[in-house]
Structure 1
Amino acid sequence: MTTAIDPRAPVATGCPVDHRALSAQAAPNGCPVSHRAAAFDPFEEGYQQDPPDYVRWAREQEPTFYSPKLGYWVVTRYESIKAIFRDHHTFSPSIALEKITPTGDEANAVLASYGFALNRTLVNEDEPAHMPRRRALMDPFTPDELKHHEPMVRALAREYVDRFIDDGRADLVDQMLWEVPLTVALHFLGVPEEDMDTLREYSIAHTVNTWGRPKPEEQVAVAHAVGNFWQFAGKVLDKMRQDPEAPGWMQYGIRKQREQPEVVTDSYLHSMMMAGIVAAHETTANATANAMKLLLQHPSVWREICEDPSLIPNAVEECLRHNGSVAAWRRLATKDVQIDGIEIPAGSKLLIVTSSANHDDRHFADADLFDIRRDNASDHLTFGYGAHQCMGKNLARMEMQIFLEEFTRRLPHMRLAEQQFSYVPNTSFRGPEHLWVEWDPQRNPERMCAEVRDAAVPVPVRIGEPSRHAITRPVVVERITPVADGIVQLRLVAPDGRPLPRWTPGSHIDVECGSPDRSRQYSLCGDPADTHAFEIAVLREADGRGGSAWIHANVRVGDRLKIRGPRNHFRLDESRDKLVLIAGGIGITPISAMARRAQALGLDYALHYSGRRRSAMPFIDELAALHGERLHLHVSDEGGRNDLPALLATPEPGTQIYACGPVRMLQALEVCCAHWSDDALRMEHFESTLGALDPSKEQAFEVELKDSGIVVQVPADQTLLHALRAANIDVQSDCEEGLCGSCEVRVLAGEVDHRDVVLIRAERDANQKMMTCCSRACGGQRLVLEL
């Protein structure tokens, strides 16, 4: 972006921002600021009530912008924010606990009088100090260690519900969701339980002091509370030093200080004591309150988890995504860098709105939909990502699962009371100050069945993110239509008639074909605008793996199937000047949806569809009616073949080619597009040439996990995916054949032997990501991964 900009120009050259509507203000890089960016104020009611909706305009039109009112660059899209989290050297966390609103001299003097000296913590520390401390203090957060806290959390949840279950009305925040997470936090940290109300006052004051905008007349009172909190933390730490063998994370840190005094220092422990109380308590309290509010605002979803508690782990993930307790984080650019095409100068402060990223349709299909069966819900950035991801994330997940289990079992008839929701004004942490609910005590299940209160078999708590294979969505087969020789089209609808998640062209779903271990992927081929059904076309393959044969032989109208998705690893770039869409046989399924979308948008496109004979080519009449002269049929037995070398002889800048079909066609396309730009051709494979590992032809290798600080050995007879799982590292996967892209990880160093059919040529050459289910290290060398 240049600094000399003609404001009359429609769009500045090289700048992604529309320069037709600009304010009189300029960003530090000299670029004029749009009116909406100039008006942005995170302390306004709109942001406090619904941050993702407040910045929707930015996410869609101006994803990174400068806020003159805040003095920060604001980043709103998923991929950009995830990239910022990944690169903690370029984007320092050092300002994460800095006051976002400078306070006056009187308030600063009050803080100084208490000796307030909050320094570096795991949240705001740079390398090289951060990772050694994180590794030294990590063990109490491992799944095996966290399991020890489960009985206490269950007992507390039961005890607090007992207090109000017969009242018929309660403020869940005041009467449970603030105090229980605080008690758990103190127990986890090893802090003696003190006055709850005082600690709540301290915690809120710390939030307002760091991320809020206290009025001048409020600043002194806030400073006194924060100063008292600091001194309280110091006194408790002194008590702990007298009994360092006692249980608790802080005592663990004191013991580690003996072993590594240069890593775990006195000032570090004092700062972590204060920050830890807030981090281990307030975010979980707010997250659970947000989750209950969201679930009760969707009564049909609430009924589903009451009837099927196995849905609770993924419901927790979707609540954290859709309405999490962390709205935004902050970072400092340590060098000149570009984000979303905007030049960001070194020294710039960034507000990265993670709640907006969690509503980005580019990553989460139909992102505003609250969908507890969303299979990538745990991709949310509420816990951050990378080296500074929240260490206590699995403790929070465990608490939230137990709370939801207790409520669904004992108060399934709970409903929201009429009320206005208020939030403590700040940029980053949010949860309702009160959450009033009502119910009829006469309908309490335990009044009718005494065992309900003391249920002997609780729902197993999953410590960690849920597996995608455990998340299925029931659908009913509404219609089966033969559309070509050996091909049927299935129309799938929700059992209760509700809308299904919206999807984008190129998306697919996984269908369980008779059993959970036989899942097959099918591209969606209907109209993306139709939210009432998913449509797939299934070719019966005699030499296939049995999925298509099972569907043809067993599926009937009215049957209930289990599916996962939709997911999209074959996304249409709608900004291209021209699209060339190429399909062969059943490969028309994703391509037909792309063509429909291109026509709806008025894009320049051509659709080339090849097949052996017309009777084996589905949708010909429908495609002809929709696309007219833009449809080019190539039918072999009529003498028509698609002359790919002629079609692709001359590279066209701005043109994107999308193709799906048999392996031979796709291989030919790669040859024909060799002289095009590296990113011009995108292909979707529906069959894999990946065979089983032959240990006699493979080499063992090792991978260093940069964020975890461990090294994993991958033997010749094992995939990287299986080796990571054996090391208790969560990596999602689906097809495990290099087809779907769900097991992708980021590569920091080392050369990859790419064996997938997902990455395009440019991505393979860049060597920055790999599919763990099939790809390996070249020549047995060491890989460094961002895990």
Structure 2
Amino acid sequence: MTDTSHKRSAQPQACPFSGAPADSAEHGSCPVSDPFALARAFDAFDGPYQLDPAEALRWSRDQLPVFYAETLGYWVVTRYDDIKAVFRDGILFSPRNVLEKITPATPEAMEVLKSYGYAMNRTMVNEDEPAHMERRRALMDHFIPANLEHHQEMVRRLTREKMDAFIDEDRVDLVESLLYEVPLNVALHFLGVPEDEIAVLRNFSVAHSVNTWGKPTDEQQIAIAHDVGQFWQYAGTVIEKMKAEPEGTGWMHETIRKNVEMPDVVTDSYVHSMMMAIIVAAHETTSLASTNMFKTLLSNREAWDDICADPSLIPNAVEECLRFAGSIVAWRRQVTAPTTLNGVDLPEGAKLLIVQASGNQDERHFEGGDSFDIYRDNAVDHLTFGYGSHQCMGKNIGRMEMRIFLEEMSRRLPHLRLAEQDFTYLPNTSFRGPDHLWVEWDPELNPERAQPQLAHDHQRFPVGAPSRRDIARKVRVTEVRQEADGILGLTLQDAKGRPLPRWSAGAHVELVAGGYDRKYSLCGRSDAPGYDLAILREDEGRGGSRYLHDSVQQGMELRLRGPSNLFRLDEEACAYVLIAGGIGITPILAMADRLKSLGKPYAIHYCGRSRATMALMERLQADHSGHLSLHIKDEGARADLTAIVAALPEGGQIYCCGPERMITALEDLTAERPEGTLHFEHFSAHDTGLDPDKETAFEVELVDSGLTLNVAADQTLLDAIQATGIDVASDCCEGLCGSCDVTVLDGDIDHRDSVLSRRERAANNRMMSCCSRAKNGGRIKLAL
């Protein structure tokens, strides 16, 4: 498969289904308006999916997020939340078919494999419970972040050796010169496997990938079967060599020792199968992901230049590359009982192709998900490593390598650029990365020629997920205004004049200024070049709003995180009631703008003490006067919430942002309404800080991970979980945003957040791990 999209960006857009040019007669028959026609004709081995799987499945995310692909015999799942739900439940959605050949082997190929004694069995990725967790627990220790730290110097040494060999040239294929061999050598070192000829292992690896996830012809299957059979025998030979070294180091040596200690858990067949699978898994995905990373960054020059100027951006840039162009496109699951996924009935035995590449660009989770943004503050939410109990154990090794590759290359070759080329890919359903990546540069401009120490300098990044605190773009204040009494209006634009990321109604950003980090909803027009904010001065607050009111001036440079959206508008309802209390008008105004553009029926109820204190009145009256009702206390007009709720038609939804008493009243009034009628966002958090003198330690069982943790009185549940190397997203750490939501399986929860509704708290199956705790020091179980 060849990708020449970098050469044809000016061409008319092609039909996403047939590939016919937009200006051709054939394009007129493209069934873009019929998602069922697209579903029937979907071919994972055809051009659009192979060239850009996320874009090829945009129609599915928008119209038919779960569909049956007749050519594959699989149900395809494309939205973020659905994919995460599948990953989360390893019992209902079994991994047993992960290594099943997506193209069935011919009888002739099966005979070839049989001649080699090929007997591939379960490995970590396709093992059902309880065997999976028993093995994972027994073999997890090497993958804990603290135990990976010492590998950094080895990765850096190998990277520098390869770079030293080509740095004075002017053109190189990064795959051949760096990004294949180093991940393979790192993998072999980590595993404790003897280093054999790279070319031999490469042939074996490619054969295994095509055999499992590709679509070889009948003739190709014979040749591939020979390679796979030889790979199987090679793996067996390596095992025998390693068994002769009982004191050997590395993960496979530990696996062999566990085979002796607990043969019922780590079986003979598992050791042989895992040896073959891990040699591929431990390096192929990192090699492809690293190649994608450099291709993506060098195609987005501003991002590359920002990294060269500020290496602290590297950890999050790696996560954004894994999200936007990860090496794992799709994974598989099999349904073990009849179920429903996003309204689609799935029979027992149904096979699922869950396309992480599509979920990673789902705008329902990632603002402007189809755009590349190294400042994206929730990039770490990507599904490239999977999720739940089967999340990739080697994720932090891959992160480590990618960060070191990027740090070394951007420091020593900041003038690197992509060479003109066609990109080719190995056709398959699940892995993606160019076969070659040609780059070029002028060696006379190598900065280490003038500063030799640059070849030896480096930054060291802690192993694990990046810290959100290191992620912030620079913005400039282009306008300061008084929106109302005590309310400051700001317009912000990118400090370098670049477009700011797109955002959706209900989104917020986080301003970083004067030592304060504060979140504010976006209230301008979504198509405006800048971001508009309205900030209430809170003299009794913690100082952030006072600082902004007193210090911010036009032309001042600030830092900003986001945008993020945790108060998302469901655009499928039949009618909407938007209720704002005071400064809560900011997200409500953006929602009103969106509903107006969609032609949806909506009503706005804006409550405030006085007209003088109510922000954005002029624009509300100009743009939404026919939908606007004002409830102003000093004019004797109070909102009758009972009447407002009673007038809501069946199927309508209420969105409210305001003080706690308003939200509580609406919860009471909608208690008998269907789930999802009321959506709310607090604009202030409760005091959720820990007071160790008043807290009680508790125990938490992480069922999917097979771990039991003690959460100390001076420790949050979130901190305890993250210390084990398990990724849990987090943002505000005040119980206000909902990012750190975890699933509760058992135990009583002391809910301290401002996210869950009364009904959700009563269900007791979710909690915010940043602030909520086990009630009275009890024991809880989580699906992690």
Normalised-by-shorter TM-score class: over 0.9
The alpha-carbon distance between structure 1 residues 722 and 110, as it changes in their structure 2 partners (threshold 3 A), is closer
Q: Which residue of 2 aligns with 1:16?
A: none
Q: How does 1:527-606 map to 2 (within 5 A)?
A: 527-530=525-528, 532-606=529-603
Note closer, same or farther for the CA distance 1:425–1:691 as it changes in structure 2 (3 Å cut): closer
What displacement does 1:398 show?
0.4
Which residue is 1:671 aligned to? Answer: 668
Q: Does 1:735 align with 2:732?
A: yes
SS at match of 1:483: strand
Question: For the residues of structure 2 that align with 1:696 and 1:150, how far apart are their CA atoms?
Answer: 40
Residue in structure 2 matching 1:131, options 130, 133, 146 = 133
Shift of 1:734: 3.1
Deviation at 1:737, TM superposition (A): 2.3
**In 1, Cα distance between the equivalents of 2:538 and 2:354?**
48
Give the conservation status (yes or no) of the 8 Å contact 1:678–1:760: no
Please say if residues 107 and 220 of structure 1, whose CA atoms lie closer than 8 Å, have aligned partners that are also in contact: yes
Aligned partners of 2:106 and 2:585: how far apart in 1? 65
Matched residue, 1:107 = 109
Q: What is the root-mean-square deviation of aligned Cα atoms in Å?
A: 1.8
- Checking the alignment, whether the CA contact within 8 Å between 1:591 and 1:660 is kept in structure 2 is yes
1:648 corresponds to which residue? 645
Change (3 A) 1:727 1:167: closer
Amino acid across the alignment from 1:568: N
2:510 matched residue in structure 1: 510
Q: Please state how far the C-alpha of 1:194 moved relative to its aligned partner.
A: 0.9
> Match for residue 9 of structure 2?
none
Conservation of the 8 A alpha-carbon contact between 2:689 and 2:734: no
Tell me, yes or no, if structure 1 residue 408 matches structure 2 residue 410: yes
Helix, strand or coil for the counterpart of 2:646? coil
2:172 match: secondary structure: strand
- Residue 601 of structure 1: how far off its partner (Å): 0.5
Q: Does the 8 Å CA contact 1:51/1:327 hold for their aligned counterparts?
A: yes
> Match for 2:510: what amino acid?
D
Match of 1:478 in 2: 478
For the residues of structure 2 that align with 1:727 and 1:239, how far apart are their CA atoms?
33
Displacement of 1:731 after TM fit? 3.5
* 1:649 Cα offset (Å): 3.0
Structure 1 residue 469 displacement after superposition: 1.8
Percent of counterpart pairs with the same letter? 58
Paired residues of 2:53 and 2:358 also in contact (CA < 8 A): yes
Find the residue that maps to 1:648 and give its secondary structure: helix
How far apart in 2 are the matches of 1:522 and 1:569?
Answer: 12
| 1:438-462 superposed Cα distances (whole Å, 9 cap, x missing partner) | 111111112222112122xx21123
Question: C-alpha displacement at 1:81, in angstroms?
Answer: 0.5
CA distance in 1, matches of 2:691, 2:218: 71
1:528 counterpart letter in structure 2: S
Q: Which residue is equivalent to 1:468?
A: 468
Q: Is the 8 A contact 1:37 1:67 kept in 2?
A: yes
TM-score by length of 2: 0.94
Q: In structure 1, how many angstroms separate the alpha carbons of the residues matched to 2:507 and 2:36?
A: 35
Does 2:410 align with 1:398? no
Are the aligned partners of 1:657 and 1:682 in contact in 2 as well (CA < 8 Å)? yes
Q: Deviations over 1:639-683 (max 9, x none)?
A: 211111222235532111111112232233223333333421111
What displacement does 1:304 show? 0.6
Q: Return closer, same or farther for 1:434/1:605 CA change in 2, 3 Å cut-off.
A: same
* Counterpart residue identity of residue 736, structure 1: C
Alpha-carbon distance in structure 2 between the residues aligned to 1:606 and 1:712: 49
Asked if 1:345 corresponds to 2:347, the answer is yes
1: CA distance, partners of 2:385 / 2:731? 24
1:212-259, Cα deviation, whole Å (9 max, x unpaired): 000111111111011100000000000000002111111011112222
The 8 Å contact of residues 293 and 416 in structure 1, kept in 2 or not, is answered as yes
Size of the aligned set, in residue pairs, is: 754
Rounded to whole Å, the distance in 1 between the matches of 2:415 and 2:305 is: 9
For 2:289 and 2:157, the matched residues in 1 are separated by 20
Aligned equivalents of 1:319, 1:697: Cα separation in 2: 43
The DSSP-based 3-state class of the residue aligned with 2:369 is coil
Asked if the contact 1:679/1:760 (under 8 Å) is kept, the reply is no
In 2, the alpha carbon distance for the partners of 1:180 and 1:765 equals 52
SS at match of 1:123: helix
- Return the alpha-carbon distance in structure 1 between the equivalents of residues 617 and 461 of structure 2: 50
Q: 1:486-533, CA deviations, whole angstroms, 9 ceiling, x for partnerless residues?
A: 111111111111111111111111112311xx3111111111223x21
Query: Which residue is 2:157 aligned to?
Result: 155
How far apart are the structure 2 equivalents of 1:110 and 1:728?
A: 42
Deviation at 1:728? 5.4
Structure 1 residues 232 and 720, CA gap change in structure 2 (3 angstroms): same
Matched AA of 2:615: P
User: Which of 269, 272, 276 is equivalent to 2:271?
Assistant: 269
Letter in 2 for 1:58: S
Tell me by how many angstroms 1:342 deviates.
0.6
- Pair 381,474 (structure 1): closer, same or farther in 2 beyond 3 Å: same
Output the amino acid matched with 1:57.
Answer: W
| Matched residue, 1:85 | 87
Deviations 1:255-301 (A, max 9, x none): 12222111111111100100000000100000000000000001111
Q: Which residue in 2 is equivalent to 1:229? A: 231
Amino acid aligned to 1:597 = R
SS at 1:634 equivalent: strand
What secondary structure, in the 3-state scheme, does the structure 2 residue paired with 1:327 have? coil
**Counterparts in 2 of 1:84-483, with a 5 A limit?**
84-455=86-457, 458-483=458-483
In structure 2, the residue matched to 1:43 is 45
8 Å CA contact retained: 1:445, 1:452: yes
Distance of aligned partners of 1:722 and 1:98 in 2 relative to their CA distance in 1, 3 Å threshold:
closer
3-state SS of 1:594 partner:
helix
Which residue identity lines up with residue 378 of structure 1 in the other structure?
V
Contact 1:90 1:335 in 2 (8 A): yes
Q: Distance in 2 between matches of 1:340 and 1:669?
A: 28
Counterpart amino acid of residue 766 in structure 1: A
Q: Deviations over 1:168-208 (max 9, x none)?
A: 00011112111111111111111111111111111000000
- Given that 1:583 and 1:608 are in contact with CA atoms closer than 8 Å, whether structure 2 keeps it comes out as yes
Letter in 2 for 1:499: P
| CA distance in structure 2 between the partners assigned to 1:57 and 1:332 by the alignment | 24
TM-score by length of 1: 0.93
Residues 468, 732 of structure 1: 8 Å contact kept? no
State whether residues 511 and 561 of structure 2, in contact with CA within 8 Å, keep that contact through their aligned partners in structure 1: yes
**What is the CA–CA distance in structure 2 between the aligned matches of 1:693 and 1:377, rounded to whole Å?**
28
| Partner deviation per Cα, 1:312-366 (whole Å, 9 max, x = no partner) | 1000000000000000001111110111111010011111101100010001110
